[in-house]
């Protein structure tokens, strides 16, 4: 796959944004919010991860703002794919998940920032501007959760944090009831690779069977 190089933000022009969220009403709210800032320009929208990959290739935005709860391929895998296509891609997650586990996985996949939807609009806009200049940006609530999770004895999701972004995405699809064949289709991998990852996930987490794996994942807030 040929790598795509994102254009560097130019002085005197707004940051060009790609917005990926599967809810049209939510995207409309984002659009109105972004339009209030002359430093920002929304150039493309997507409601699925596959669509976001296409729009990214077409428009080469400065910043991709994505939700994690996308249908089929999720946001974690989307981040990984965007960074694979363009190692300089700047990604900001805007998510309802307010926990260290999802934030860790998003950052491990290559996101520069993570903002929760519980934050005021100004936090999102400021984060977009920071990520657009290549800086890391975390909303105060997620920064606090990450700090607490790093303390000895506080990281209840440490086992899940050991999963790679790809394994985390496969776990999400398993919890949604997808078979190895269906997961292979969504992620463009072989069924054997999907099955092997399934076994690796259980081994890393110490789950003896799928029922125990599901119970552990639900308790950690993965689903």
Domains annotated on the chain, with CATH: 15-149 (3.40.50.2300), 158-220 (1.10.10.10)
Residues 6+ apart with CB under 8 A from 34: 17, 19, 40, 41, 42, 125, 128
Number of neighbouring beta carbons within 10 Å of residue 51: 15
Global pTM reads 0.84
Q: Look at residue 154 and give its three-state secondary structure.
A: coil
| Half-sphere CA count of 141, side-chain side, radius 13 A | 14
CA-to-CA distance for 91 and 118, rounded, in angstroms? 19
Tokens linked to 86: 């363009």
Q: Look at residue 65 and give its three-state secondary structure.
A: strand
- Per-residue pLDDT 10s for the chain (223 aa) are 434 444 444 557 899 999 999 999 989 999 999 988 999 999 999 999 999 999 999 999 999 999 999 988 999 999 999 999 999 999 999 999 998 999 999 999 999 999 999 999 999 999 999 999 999 999 999 998 888 777 655 444 578 888 999 999 999 999 999 999 999 999 999 999 999 999 999 999 999 999 999 999 988 888 6
Q: Which residue has the tokens 């994102």?
A: 6
Q: Determine contact, residues 201/170, Cβ cutoff 8 Å.
A: yes
Number of neighbouring beta carbons within 10 Å of residue 173: 21
């Amino acid at each position: 796959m040929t790598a795509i190089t994102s254009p560097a933000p130019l002085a005197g022009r707004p940051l060009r944004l790609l917005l990926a969220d599967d809810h049209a009403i939510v995207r409309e709210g984002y659009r109105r919010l972004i339009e209030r800032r002359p430093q920002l320009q929304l150039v493309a929208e997507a409601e699925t991860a596959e669509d976001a990959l296409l729009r990214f290739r077409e428009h080469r935005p400065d910043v991709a703002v994505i939700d994690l709860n996308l249908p089929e391929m999720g946001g974690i895998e989307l981040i990984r794919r965007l960074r694979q296509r363009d190692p300089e891609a700047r990604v900001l997650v805007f998510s309802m998940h307010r926990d260290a586990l999802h934030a860790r996985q998003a950052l491990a996949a290559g996101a520069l920032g993570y903002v929760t939807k519980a934050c005021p609009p100004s936090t999102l806009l400021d984060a977009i501007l920071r990520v657009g200049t290549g800086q890391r940006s975390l909303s105060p609530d997620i920064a606090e959760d990450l700090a607490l999770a790093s303390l000895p004895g506080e990281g209840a999701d440490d086992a899940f944090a050991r999963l790679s972004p790809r394994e985390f995405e496969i776990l999400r699809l398993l919890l949604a009831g997808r078979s190895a064949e269906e997961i292979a289709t969504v992620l463009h991998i072989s069924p054997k690779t999907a099955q092997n990852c399934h076994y690796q996930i259980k081994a890393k987490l110490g789950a003896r069977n799928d029922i125990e794996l599901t119970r552990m994942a639900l308790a950690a807030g993965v689903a």
